[in-house]
Structure formats: structure tokens, C-alpha cells
Amino acid sequence: MSGRRHFNGLKTAALFGVLWAVLLGMGALIDGGSYIFVFAAVGLLMTAYSYWNSDKIAIKAMRAYPVSELEAPEMYRIVRELSTAARQPMPRLYISPTAAPNAFATGRNPKNAAVCCTEGILRILDERELRGVLGHELMHVYNRDILTSSIAAAVAGVITSVAQFLMFFGGGRDRGGNPLAMLAMAFLAPVAAMLIQLAISRTREYDADEDGARLTGDPMALASALAKLEKGTSRAPLPANRDLVDVSHLMIANPFKGSGMAKLFATHPPMAERIKRLEAMAGHGGPAQRPGDLRGPDGFRPFL
């Protein structure tokens, strides 16, 4: 598994390189490159804002409310056990009042993290499956995936905004710009940015599945939960409004109903492939680890 994880890290870095190349390429086309540093600065500012406020944005979008240990004892017990095993601080816990089964974690670092479950997921999962899901979500925090997704979303958003500027104002074609190249960039750059952002999101989901299964020592619990979530989200999808679309990449399962082409542009990898990987991990990784035994069969320790 360590080889696959190493490959995923390189893949994420390469995808980020392409994403920033698209942004800087757009800057180079407009007025002969005079705005290239402006676009780079805007991308950095948008990234910082999204990263710093990721928890507030996601929790507000899901209308989630904070819960105490008295209100959600099972959820508190599981998260406390897993965060203690990982030697990480206890995150804030929230519940979203929606029947759509899902969960997400957010926050700029483990000290400022929040984990949220919907009422729907708490109804359909047993304790073992919920433990698998919460292990997955905690690993998103410990792997700093919120930073990764914030950068990808912010840069992709800047690229789309610049493309709209090119469409409406021509990007300085009267001052030496190449109108054909700018027109092509205006159409193709947002599509490229979106595809790259989706590829980054899918790569991080695979890593969180693997690392979460190592944290809990029970890959099949997460596999079972994912199978239930696939059915549950198809029966009770979230409405595809803008606020929810913007935070959907944080969730453990794609919250929207989609088929055909929509699946190609999903923020999550196919459930069948995720389950297949977890089953392989359970079948070839030796005996299941205890929740506190964070070192996997290949010696990998995800938090150090």
C-alpha cells in the first residue's frame, strides 16, 4: 500500500503543477503577460481565505449545529477513541439536520477541526460502520486534505473568473493579445481546471479510505458503510444548490444524484473501486489492527 500512497502523492503534486500552469498561462496571454503576477496573487489570496474559513463555510452550508457528548454519546466516544489513538486533539462535533446520509471533516488543522455527520448517516450505519466513516474523516484532517482541496478549489475558481473576463472583455486584444489563443483559453481553461480539481479530490479520497482503515484497523467496516452510503445518497440526494456544490468535495460520498455524464464530473471516485481497494486491503494486509495500532502491515504510520 505504501507504493500506491507514494504514487497518489506524486499524482496530486503533478496535478497542482498543471493547475497553476493553466492559471499562469492565462496570465501570460493577457496583455503579453503583464497580469501574470496579478493572477498568481489573486490565486494565493483566494486559497488563504478558503483555507482559513473552510470549517465555517461547510458547516453553514449544511446548516449543522454543534452537539455535546450528552446529545451524541456514540459519535463522541468513537471520535475520542480515534483521535486519542492518533495522538491528536479532539475536534468539534456537529450534526446536520438532513436525511441525506453523509459526513465530512473540515478545519485548517487538527487543533481547529470539525467533524459533521448528517442525521441520515447516523440512522443507517451501525457503530462499526460509523467508526469506519469517522476514521476516514479524521484522516482528511490529519493528512491536511482541507488545505489541498482549498487550493484546488480557489485556483480553479480564479481560472473560471479569468476565463469569463476573457470572454467579455477580450483580455487586451487591442494591445497585442492573440485573440484566437485567448478565445480557446477562455473555453478550455475552466474545463481543464475542473477536471484537474476533480482528479485531486478523487486521489485524496483514496488516501483517506486507506489511512482511515489503518486507523480503525477495520477496512471492511468502511467498505460496508460506503455500500450503504451509495444506496442512501441515491435515495435521498442533496439539492444541487451553489452552497452545497461548493462543499460537496468534503463529503465522504457524492451527495448529488447523477448518472451518465454527471458521473464523469463527480468529485468522488466510483464507490465500487473504493470498496474493491478496501476489500483488497482487508484480504492482503494481514490480521486487522487494533484501533490504537496505527502502524500498518507495511510499517506505514500516517501521522508522522
- Asked if residue 129 lies in contact with residue 107, where contact means CB atoms within 8 angstroms, the answer is no
Edge-first strand listing for the sheet containing 65-66: 65-66, 92-96, 114-118, 103-106
Dmax of the chain from CA atoms?
Answer: 68
DSSP secondary structure of 202-222: HHHHHHHHHHHHHHHT-HHHH
Size of the chain, expressed as the number of residues it contains: 304
Q: What whole-number distance in Å separates Cα of residue 43 and Cα of residue 41? A: 5
Distance CA 121, CA 225 (A): 9
What value does the CA radius of gyration of the chain take, rounded to a whole number of Å?
20
* Residue 83 contacts residue 89 (beta carbons within 8 Å): yes
- Dihedral sign for Cα 213, 277, 272, 209, please: positive
Q: Is 137 labeled as catalytic in the residue annotation?
A: yes
Q: Which of 69, 81, 127, 137 is catalytic?
A: 137
Q: Which residues form the catalytic set?
A: 137
